[in-house]
Structure 1
Amino acid sequence: MKLASFSRCIDSIILWILVLSTLIFRYLGLTSKINVLLIFLIFVSVVLNCISFLKDGSLLCIICIVGYFFYNFYSLGGSISVCLYNLSQVIPSFLAIIYVFNLLKRRKDFLFDFLNQKVTLFNIYLYISIPFILLQANGQYWLAGNSNGAVNPLGIDLICGLFGFNGTPMMALFVAFAMVLNFDYYCFRCKESQKSLFLLLVIPLFIFYSVLPLFNDNKGYYIVLLLFFFLYFVSLKFGRVSTTNHFESYFKRIGIVYLLIAAFIAVSITLLQIEPIRITFEKMQKEIMQGWEYGSRSHGSNERIGMIQFGLQDSSHVLKGYGVGQHTWTEPYLFGFWHYGQSDFGTFLCLGGVALLIILFFSIFISFTGIVKSFFLSLLVVVSFVIMSIYTQLFTVISLTVSLLLMIILCISRYSQFVEGN
Structure 2
Amino acid sequence: MNILRKFDFNKLKDLDTIILLLLFFEITIFSLLNIRGLGNRLILLLLLLRIFLLSPTKKFKKRVLISYLLIFIIYSLSAIFSDKFIPYSYYMNFKALLYTLTPLIYIVWLRIYRKEFLFSTFENLFVFFNIFYIINFIVMCIQGQFHGFLSGFSNYENTYTPDLMSGLFGYNGTAQFGLYSIFVLIYDMYMLKYSKYKIENKYIRYIIDFGLFISIVISSSINDNKANYISLILVLFEFFMIEMGGKSEKERKLANKLIYTAFCIIVFLGIFLLFSNLNFLEKISPELKGTVYLFRKAIFDPTSYQSGEMGSIERVYIPLYVIYHYQYILFGAGTAFSNWQTPGTLGFPHFGQSDLSSFFALGGIFFCIIVFSIYNYFYLQLIGKVKNKTMFRISNFMVIFFYFFYTQPWTQSTLSICLLMLFVPMGMLANKVFSEECA
Give TM class, smaller chain.
0.7 to 0.9
Q: Which of residues 45, 51, 55 is equivalent to 1:46?
A: 51
Contact 2:341 2:352 in 1 (8 A): yes
State the match for 2:401 in structure 1.
Answer: 386
Tell me whether 1:167 sits opposite 2:173 in the alignment: yes
TM-aligned CA deviation for residue 412 of structure 1: 1.9
State the match for 1:399 in structure 2.
Answer: 414
TM-aligned CA deviation for residue 393 of structure 1: 0.9
Contact 1:159 1:216 in 2 (8 A): yes
Partner Cα separation in structure 1 for residue 71 and residue 329 of structure 2:
18
Contact 1:52 1:102 in 2 (8 A): no
Task: Point out the more displaced range, 32-41 or 206-215.
Answer: 206-215
TM-aligned CA deviation for residue 235 of structure 1: 1.1
Partner Cα separation in structure 2 for residue 368 and residue 206 of structure 1:
24
1:254 to 1:164, Cα distance in 2 relative to 1, 3 A: farther
Structure 1 segment 113-128 matched on structure 2, within 5 A: 113-128=120-135
TM-aligned CA deviation for residue 225 of structure 1: 0.8
Deviations 1:320-368 (A, max 9, x none): 1001111111112222222111111111110011111111122124435
Partner Cα separation in structure 1 for residue 206 and residue 127 of structure 2:
13
Contact 2:352 2:358 in 1 (8 A): yes
Percent identity, aligned pairs only? 24
Contact 1:22 1:403 in 2 (8 A): yes
Tell me whether 1:101 sits opposite 2:101 in the alignment: no
SS at match of 1:412: helix
Contact 1:321 1:351 in 2 (8 A): yes
Contact 1:291 1:298 in 2 (8 A): no
Tell me whether 1:87 sits opposite 2:98 in the alignment: no
Task: Point out the more displaced range, 344-353 or 256-265.
Answer: 256-265
Task: Point out the more displaced range, 289-298 or 65-74.
Answer: 289-298
Contact 2:147 2:161 in 1 (8 A): no
TM-aligned CA deviation for residue 216 of structure 1: 2.2
State the match for 1:361 in structure 2.
Answer: 372
Output the amino acid matched with 2:373. F
TM-aligned CA deviation for residue 288 of structure 1: 2.8
Task: Point out the more displaced range, 25-34 or 342-351.
Answer: 25-34
Task: Point out the more displaced range, 73-82 or 173-182.
Answer: 73-82
Task: Point out the more displaced range, 45-54 or 34-43.
Answer: 45-54
TM-aligned CA deviation for residue 261 of structure 1: 4.5
Contact 1:144 1:160 in 2 (8 A): yes
1:194 to 1:37, Cα distance in 2 relative to 1, 3 A: farther
Q: Which runs of 5+ in 2 are unaligned?
A: 1-5, 274-279
State the match for 1:72 in structure 2.
Answer: 78
1:24 to 1:316, Cα distance in 2 relative to 1, 3 A: same
State the match for 2:3 in structure 1.
Answer: none
TM-aligned CA deviation for residue 8 of structure 1: 3.1
State the match for 1:230 in structure 2.
Answer: 237
Structure 1 segment 295-310 matched on structure 2, within 5 A: 295=305, 297-310=308-321
Contact 2:330 2:364 in 1 (8 A): yes
Structure 1 segment 14-413 matched on structure 2, within 5 A: 14-47=19-52, 48-49=54-55, 50-54=57-61, 57-76=63-82, 77-147=84-154, 149-189=155-195, 190-192=197-199, 205-240=212-247, 256-263=255-262, 282-290=289-297, 293=302, 294-295=304-305, 297-368=308-379, 371-372=384-385, 375-376=389-390, 377-378=392-393, 380-413=395-428
Contact 2:80 2:334 in 1 (8 A): no
Output the amino acid matched with 1:260. I
SS at match of 2:332: coil
Partner Cα separation in structure 1 for residue 400 and residue 374 of structure 2:
12
1:146 to 1:222, Cα distance in 2 relative to 1, 3 A: same
Q: Which of residues 9, 15, 19 is equivalent to 1:10?
A: 15
TM-aligned CA deviation for residue 233 of structure 1: 0.5
Q: Which runs of 5+ in 1 are unaligned?
A: 242-248
Output the amino acid matched with 1:331. T
Partner Cα separation in structure 2 for residue 302 and residue 173 of structure 1:
21
1:204 to 1:321, Cα distance in 2 relative to 1, 3 A: same
Task: Point out the more displaced range, 188-197 or 23-32.
Answer: 188-197
Task: Point out the more displaced range, 210-219 or 163-172.
Answer: 210-219
1:159 to 1:360, Cα distance in 2 relative to 1, 3 A: same
TM-aligned CA deviation for residue 119 of structure 1: 2.5
SS at match of 1:420: helix
State the match for 1:245 in structure 2.
Answer: none
1:276 to 1:184, Cα distance in 2 relative to 1, 3 A: farther
Output the amino acid matched with 1:262. T
1:354 to 1:173, Cα distance in 2 relative to 1, 3 A: same
TM-aligned CA deviation for residue 13 of structure 1: 2.2
When the two structures are aligned, how many residues end up with a matched partner?
411
Task: Point out the more displaced range, 384-393 or 281-290.
Answer: 281-290
TM-aligned CA deviation for residue 161 of structure 1: 1.6
Deviations 1:293-344 (A, max 9, x none): 5326341222222222223322211111001111111112222222111111
1:338 to 1:154, Cα distance in 2 relative to 1, 3 A: farther
Contact 2:282 2:289 in 1 (8 A): no
TM-aligned CA deviation for residue 102 of structure 1: 2.8
SS at match of 1:15: helix
Output the amino acid matched with 1:300. G
TM-aligned CA deviation for residue 30 of structure 1: 2.0
The CA RMSD measured in Å over matched residues stands at: 3.3
SS at match of 1:330: coil
SS at match of 2:9: helix
1:344 to 1:267, Cα distance in 2 relative to 1, 3 A: closer
1:197 to 1:258, Cα distance in 2 relative to 1, 3 A: closer
Partner Cα separation in structure 1 for residue 223 and residue 335 of structure 2:
33
